[in-house]
Amino acid sequence: MKHLEKQWKRGKEFLGVQYPIMAGAMTWISDHKLVASVANHGGFGCLAGGNLPPDILAREIDNVRNQTDKPFAVNLITIAPNYKEQLKITTQKEVPFIIFAGSFPRGSEIKIAKDSGAKVVAFASNESIAHRMIASGVDALMLEGSEAGGHIGHVSLSILLQQVLFAVEEIPVFVAGGIATGRFMAHLLLMGASGIQMGTRFVMTKECQVNPKFKDAFIKAKARDAIATPGVGSELNVVAVRAIRNKGMTDFADLQMELILKSREGKISKKEAQFEIEKFWIGALRNAVQDGDIEHGSLMAGQSVGLINNMQSMKEMFDEIIKDAEEELIRIHQRIDSNCD
């Protein structure tokens, strides 16, 4: 891995892992078992805070530590009702990495995290936000393109790379969204990324303990089947969710209409309506992941689902990605050398 070691040295040293390949935090999926398995195979696992009650989050953190001595992160959603209590628990537990998601963390929250000894990672959707996060003290950035699964932003990874990755050198920048192959990872590292984050590909490992029907839906899906949910009007400011098309998408559209009408009639506040939307997704995702309801449950997946058509062990997946990335770097060097002759 001579070529690969040079390209991902910064990310590897920052995360303290063998491979700077991160498993994105997926609600109901990224539990202590998956996080520990990723860590023990040389990668970097992210425990999904979601809206877990603080005591359950504390137990999950303890369970990760009981199964691995490797670094890991807790992903906290800043707009989750339990967020403040989760941040308190995470800092008390002295988790080595805290990733803020959902919206941009306040400077005071970043300070709380850093004062606990944690390294802090935050998302950035443009250059100005990236520099704002850096000024607030974050230790690394995550760029996640709209190709990703789950709650997504509006901008594709190809644009974020040009807007942010090319403009930031002060701290490590990790990238996510539509990544599933070692060959693509090689090019992202050459562009300056310190490492990558994947979610959908980790679902398709044998160690990921979800309902078999959930995985089967991933195997059958094409890239175009992973669509972003449309917002009905603009009153609720719905954050788009990318998932595999099914009847649950229709259910969500109906729910939005129902909530908009209730809001207009004064029967429900805007904040209450937004909470009902998040409650819908949390429940729908649980129904799919745990119970195998692939008709009405939420099949959150990135567009990279179209690149994955088989199940692998965690070791097989890492081995394939690393081998393909190293071979691609060799090809690139050979191509450059031949063009210079």
Domain map (residue ranges) of the chain: 2-209, 212-303
Segment 322-338 shows an average pLDDT of 93
Q: Is the pLDDT of residue 328 over 80?
A: yes
Which strand ranges, in their side-by-side order, compose the sheet holding 241-244? Answer: 150-151, 241-244, 226-228
Query: What is the pLDDT at residue 341?
Result: 62
How do residues 213-223 score in pLDDT, each as one tens digit?
999 999 999 99
Beta pairing, strands 241-244 & 226-228: antiparallel
d(CA 225, CA 47): 27
> Residue 272: CB partners within 8 Å, gap ≥ 6?
none
Task: Provide the mean pLDDT of the chain.
Answer: 94
Strand partners, 101: 77
d(CA 257, CA 308): 35
Fold of 2-209: TIM Barrel (3.20.20)
Segment 40-46 shows an average pLDDT of 98
Segment 40-59 shows an average pLDDT of 96
Segment 127-137 shows an average pLDDT of 95
Strand partners, 198: 23
d(CA 237, CA 235): 6
The answer to whether 115 touches 107, Cβ cutoff 8 Å, is: no
339 against 225, higher pLDDT? 225
Band of pLDDT at residue 288, cut at 50, 70 and 90: very high
Query: What is the pLDDT at residue 271?
Result: 80
92 three-state secondary structure: helix
Query: What is the pLDDT at residue 2?
Result: 84
How do residues 58-115 score in pLDDT, each as one tens digit?
999 999 999 999 999 999 999 888 999 999 999 999 999 999 998 899 999 999 999 9
How do residues 144-187 score in pLDDT, each as one tens digit?
999 999 989 889 999 999 999 999 999 999 999 999 999 999 99
The answer to whether 87 touches 76, Cβ cutoff 8 Å, is: yes
Nearest 5°: phi and psi at 21?
Answer: -115, 110
| Cβ neighbour number for residue 242 with a 10 Å cutoff | 23
Q: Is the pLDDT of residue 34 over 80?
A: yes
Band of pLDDT at residue 233, cut at 50, 70 and 90: low
Nearest 5°: phi and psi at 312?
Answer: -135, 160
H-helix segments, the chain: 2-7, 9-15, 32-40, 54-67, 83-92, 107-115, 127-135, 157-163, 182-191, 200-203, 212-220, 247-264, 270-289, 314-340
Query: What is the pLDDT at residue 48?
Result: 96
